[in-house]
Structure 1
Amino acid sequence: MSEALLARHDAVLLDLDGTVYHGARVIPGAPEAVAEVRRAGVPVRFVTNNASKAPESVAEHLRSLGVAAEPGEVSTSSQAAAAVLAERLRAGSRVLVVGTGALAAEVEALGLAPVRKMADDVAAVVQGHSPDTTWADLAEACLAIRAGVLWVACNVDATLPTERGQLPGNGSMVAALRTATDAEPVVAGKPEAPLFTAAATAVRATSALVVGDRLDTDIAGASAAGLDALAVLSGVATPRTLLTAAEGLRPRYLAEHLSAVTGRAGELEIGPRPGWRIRAEGDTLRVTAVTESDGVGDRLDLLRAVCDAAWRHGTHRLVPEGDDARGALDDLGLT
C-alpha cells in the first residue's frame, strides 16, 4: 500500500472558490477534510487571488461555512503584491493603489505609503480588484505607468465568480491599462509563483501541496512555484480540460473533491491504473477495461490513466474497446 498523500507534503495550500466552497455554499466534505489535515499535523494555508478582502474577512467567511480558519492562515494576492513592491522599492516609497482599502492596508503594513493620485514622487502602481474602481482611478494609474513606474497586478483573472455568474475581474481592468500604456505588469497572484511561494514560506514548507480546481491559475501557479498539485473536479476543471492540458497545466494528482487529500498518494497519482489498459496506436489511444481481482477500475482511475497516456503520447483521441470502456468514457464526457 502506498504512503499517505499527507506524508509526502509538509503543508497544504488550498484554493478557495471551487475547492472549499462555491460562493456561499461549502463543498460537501471540505470542513472535515481540512480538520483531518490539521489532525495529521500538516499546516494549512488558504490561498486566494481575491485582492479585495482582508485575511480577517476571508477567515470569517470560511468559519461561517464550518471551516476552521484563522486570519494568519490566509494568503491573498494583495499580500503577495505588497511583498513584491517591498522587495523592489525603498521603505516609505509612495505607491498608487487601484483597489480596495484592504489592498492599501497590505501596502502600508510593509512600510510603503499608499496614495490614490499621481504625483512626481509615486514609485509604483499596484492594481487589485474592487467593484468601486472608476475611470478616474484608471486614469491616475495610466499617467503613472506611462511615466515609467513599476506596475504590479495582484492577479490577471479575467472574470470573477459571483452568485449572478461570471463578472469582470481584475484582469479585465488590467487589460484596459495594458491597452492605454503598452506596458505589462508584474503579476503577484496565480498563475505566477509569488503567491504560492509566499504561502509556503510562511509555514516553512519545502514540499507543499497545492489543491485547486483551475488548471490555468491553481495548477499553473503550482507549476511556476515548483510545487506538486492535486486537481479536483468540484469546480472549473473537467475531464476534457485535464485530458488536453498543456505542459505546465498538468497536476501530479487527481481527485473528485478535497476529501481525497487524506487518501493514499499512489491511488491519486496520475499514471497507469491496474483496472485499465491504454494502448497507443498512431494518433489514437485504445481504451480497454481489465478485469482483475478488484474488478473493473472506476471512472477516475480511467481518467488518471488516459491523462497519463495522452500527455506522454501527445494525442487525446480515445477509442473505447468494449462496453465497459465505452460506458466509463461516456460518464467522463470523453466520447
Structure 2
Amino acid sequence: MTDDLLSRHDVLLADLDGTLYRGPEVVPGALDAVLGAAARGVPTVYVTNNASRSPAAVAAHLTELGFPAGVGDVRTSSQAAATMLAEQLPAGAPVLVVGTDALADEVRARGLTVVGTAGEAVAVVQGHSPDTGWRMLAEAVVAVRAGALWIASNVDPTLPTDRGPLPGNGSMVQVVRTATGAQPQVAGKPAARLLREAQGDATRPLVVGDRLDTDIEGAHALRAPSLMVLTGVNGPADLLAAPPALRPTYLGADLGALARHPDELTPGPRPGWQVEHGPDGLRLSGSGTGPEPAVDALRALCAAAWEHGAGPVTADGGAAAGVLDELGLGG
C-alpha cells in the first residue's frame, strides 16, 4: 500500500494561480499530480480568491489546460461572498456590486437585487475587477459610511500576473477602509468559509497553495494540514520569517510532493544538512543527501528559524553556498 502524502487525504483543496498554472502555462508537475490523484480516487476542488471570473469560466480554463474540472469542482470567493449576503439579507435586498458581471451574477443567483448607487443599497460586495475606478469606490464608501453591510470577496493585496504582482482586491478594499474606518466581512481565504464550502463531505482535506497569507493561513483557519509549493507568490525568505499562523505543515518544490512520504516534506532536520543558530543568524553547512537538496535545506532552515527566529543566513562550504544561491538566500 502506498504511504505517501496523497494517501493521507480524501480531497485536495488547491489554489490556482501560482499553484496549478501561471496564466496560460501549467506549473511543472501540477497536471500530472492532479491527474494521478484523480486516478487514485482523490478529487481536486479548485479554490480561488479571484472573484472576477465565473466558476464556468474557471472550469473552462482548467479544462483547456488538461485538468479534470467541471463547474461543480470550482469554488470562488464570489460564490462564498454572495452566500454570505443571502444569509444576512432578506430576499430581493438591494446590493451594490463593486466588481465584475461574474460577481453580480452570483448575487442575483441568490435572490438579491443588484443596484448601482449608494442610495439604493443596503449592502456592498466588493471583488476584483480591472475596471474598478474612483466613482464606484466612492459609491461604496458612501454606502458603507451610511451603515450598509460590507463583504469583501477577498483581501489579497496583490494579484499575480505575467507582469508581476499587480494591485489585487485587497488594495481596493483598503481604499474603502481608509475612507470609512470600517472593516468588511471577508468571504475568501484566509477566512475558513470558502475552504469549508470546498471541503464538502470530505473528512481529510489537504490545502495546497503558494501563498502564505491566504492558502496557508486559510488552512490554519480550517484546522487542516497544508502543502506549500515554491511555484508562486511566496518564496524561501517569506517562509523563514513566517509567524505561526502562516507556517505550512509540509513544504514541496511543486505538487510532485504528493508522491513523497509526509515525513520527508515536514520542516525539520534533513539528512546531510546542519543548521546552527547564533547571534548573527543561521549558518547552513553540509551537502544534502536527499533527492531535493535545496528544498531539504530549506526545510531544515525553516525549523531552525521558527524555533530561534529568522535572521541572516550564511553558508559554511561550497555546497551550502550553492544551495543558498538557488533559494535566493545567498548574500
Instruction: Tell me the TM-score normalized by structure 1.
Output: 0.90
**Residue type at the aligned position of 1:326:** A
C-alpha distance in 2 between matches for 1:330 and 1:309:
19
Counterpart contact for 2:290–2:296, Cα < 8 Å? no
Cα shift at 1:12:
0.5
C-alpha distance in 1 between matches for 2:110 and 2:290:
58
Task: Please name the residue that 1:178 is paired with.
Answer: 177
Cα shift at 1:277:
2.4
C-alpha distance in 2 between matches for 1:308 and 1:30:
26
C-alpha distance in 2 between matches for 1:295 and 1:68:
32
Counterpart contact for 1:275–1:301, Cα < 8 Å? no
SS in 2 for 1:248: helix
Cα shift at 1:282:
4.7
Task: Please name the residue that 2:136 is paired with.
Answer: 137
C-alpha distance in 1 between matches for 2:2 and 2:37:
18
Task: Please name the residue that 1:99 is paired with.
Answer: 99
Task: Please name the residue that 2:47 is paired with.
Answer: 47
C-alpha distance in 2 between matches for 1:250 and 1:110:
36
Matching of residues 111-260 of structure 1 within 5 Å:
111-119=111-119, 122-200=121-199, 202=200, 204-260=201-257
Task: Please name the residue that 1:300 is paired with.
Answer: 295
| Divergent runs of 4+, >4 A | 294-297
State whether structure 2 residue 261 is matched by structure 1 residue 264.
yes
SS in 2 for 1:95: strand
Q: 1:303-335 deviations in whole A, cap 9, x for unaligned?
A: 111101110122434343333333323332323
State whether structure 2 residue 59 is matched by structure 1 residue 59.
yes
Task: Please name the residue that 1:108 is paired with.
Answer: 108
Q: 1:208-235 deviations in whole A, cap 9, x for unaligned?
A: 1111111122212222222211111111
Q: 1:39-86 deviations in whole A, cap 9, x for unaligned?
A: 121121111111010000001111111222111111111011112222
- Structure 1 unaligned segments of length 5 or more: list them: none
Counterpart contact for 1:36–1:262, Cα < 8 Å? no
Q: 1:245-284 deviations in whole A, cap 9, x for unaligned?
A: 1221111111111222232211111112122222334554
Cα shift at 1:188:
1.1
Task: Please name the residue that 2:24 is paired with.
Answer: 24
Q: Which moved more, 1:8-17 or 1:127-136?
A: 127-136
C-alpha distance in 2 between matches for 1:43 and 1:149:
39
Counterpart contact for 2:18–2:160, Cα < 8 Å? no
**Residue type at the aligned position of 1:13:** L
CA RMSD between the two structures: 2.3
Instruction: Tell me the TM-score normalized by structure 2.
Output: 0.91
C-alpha distance in 1 between matches for 2:290 and 2:247:
28
Cα shift at 1:93:
2.4
Counterparts in 2 of 1:125 and 1:308: CA distance versus 1, 3 Å: same
SS in 1 for 2:122: strand
Percent of counterpart pairs with the same letter?
A: 55
